[in-house]
Amino acid sequence: MSGHVVPLKVYFAIFATLMVLTALTVRVAFINLGPYNAAVALGIATTKAVLVILYFMHLRYSSKLTWIVVLAGFFWLGILLVITMTDYVTRSLPHLPT
Amino acid sequence: MQDSHAAAAHHPAFQHHFETMEQQREASTLGMWLFLITEILFFGGMFTVYLVYRNWYFASFAAGSLTLDLTLGAFNTVVLIGSSLTMALAVHSAETGQRNLLVAFLLLTILLGATFLGVKAVEYSHKFEEHHVPGPSFRFGSEELRHFHEEATALRSTQIHGVELGEVQLFFSLYFAMTGMHALHMVIGIGVLSVLAWKSRRGVYSPEYFAPVEYAGLYWHFVDIVWIFLFPLLYLITRHVGVHP
């Protein structure tokens, strides 16, 4: 009955990649990139999360229905973050002279 | 197909309202993911709060973040990703019917999870000793502030001014709420894995039926993902403030 048995070497390759990305994110944190530090840190974290979801959590080998449900979940998370932040981030923008 | 259907239908874990074992598996996988999505949105709410206040009170959050022990945080990240690997290997052992390996990898995952919690306890006790726990005894002394300003002024950044006691407390409130909620999930995960290890030893799971192992794995990997975001947000994202250009 079982679905796709993921080869062991895939798991080890993903683990090695996650370790390299962890070392990278710690290293980059000490380089001053100004506002881009946050973007780089979150970009690396998102890459790591996607690798975990696709391979450790087997999403890559799951049905289309599971894909849709997972993507819909992250879509709502995106709405929560993006719409909230567009408000809060722009509140301190300079006003036009009156 | 008919044969496999008949064989599956005789499996004790097969529920009569499903047509095949495969359909049952498909439905339960979907159910587990739906639960995890409620968890993603639950943690997402806390991440949103964190992002809003970090955006408003950047200097205070940087000052608070710089007091966290980066070495312990990085060590815990490695431990937790390692436990995700052993969990994935446990599921693989269940799929291929290697009972002893399954028990071994579950126990190894529990051990790594306990290591993470132990390190977390050490970090928490440091915070208690330094009075960095929000509340009446909260202290963020002149020493921490001086250390922070020495490093931050070198940055010549206009962002780095006005560290406020209340705002630093807010950072630590979020630190304890988010890492505490994450740790609670790990305690629950360790409990679930302990039951699974015990049942695996008794030979409950087979290549035909190992759904509980698989879904405990999904849960464990999800908890790993939460930490993958907590680590940079709490420990790393303001480290460059202390870096001299």
On whether the CB atoms of residues B164 and B60 are closer than 8 A, the answer is yes
Contacts of B15 (CB under 8 A, 6+ apart): B24
Cβ distance B74 to A22 less than 8 Å, yes or no, reads yes
On whether the CB atoms of residues B167 and B57 are closer than 8 A, the answer is yes
Q: Which of B67, B32, B30 is nearest to B147 (CA)?
A: B67
A84 vs B52, B92, B239: nearest CB: B52
And the tokens for A35? 């506002």
Coil, strand, or helix at residue B26? helix
Give the Cα separation of B113 and B47 in Å (integer): 23
3-state helix, strand, coil in chain A (%, to 5): 75, 0, 25
B48 vs A15, A32, A81: nearest CB: A81
pLDDT at position A1 is: 37
pLDDT at position A92 is: 72
On whether the CB atoms of residues B109 and B83 are closer than 8 A, the answer is yes
Selected for mutation to probe chain A from B10, B34, B81 (highest A CB count within 10 Å) is B81
DSSP at B1: -
Stated as kind and residue range, the H or E segment containing B51 is: helix B21-56
Q: Which of B23, B149, B127, B38 is nearest to A73 (CA)?
A: B38
pLDDT at position B139 is: 84
For residue B112, list chain A residues with Cβ-Cβ distance below 8 A: none
Give the Cα separation of B110 and B113 in Å (integer): 5
The stretch A19-32 carries a mean pLDDT of: 94
And the tokens for B204? 């409950």
pLDDT at position B24 is: 87
pLDDT at position A89 is: 83
Cα B115 off chain centre by: 13
Q: Could you tell me how many CB contacts below 8 A there are between chain A and chain B?
A: 143
Tokens 């330094």 belong to residue: B130
Range list of β-strands (E), chain A: none
pLDDT at position A3 is: 59
- On whether any CB of chain A is under 8 Å from the CB of B223, the answer is no
pLDDT at position B245 is: 44
Kindly report, residue by residue over B63-80, the tens digit of the pLDDT: 889 889 999 999 999 999
For residue B74, list chain A residues with Cβ-Cβ distance below 8 A: 22, 26
- On whether any CB of chain B is under 8 Å from the CB of A48, the answer is yes
pLDDT at position B156 is: 47
Question: Rounded to the nearest 10 degrees, what angle do helices B99-129 and B70-95 cross at?
Answer: 160
CA-nearest residue to B86 within chain A is A11
First CA to last CA distance, chain A: 71
pTM value > 0.80: yes
Give the Cα separation of B236 and A27 in Å (integer): 10
Residue stretches of chain B with pLDDT short of 70:
1-10, 142-144, 146-161, 242-245
Kindly report, residue by residue over A15-24, the tens digit of the pLDDT: 999 999 999 9
pLDDT at position B40 is: 95
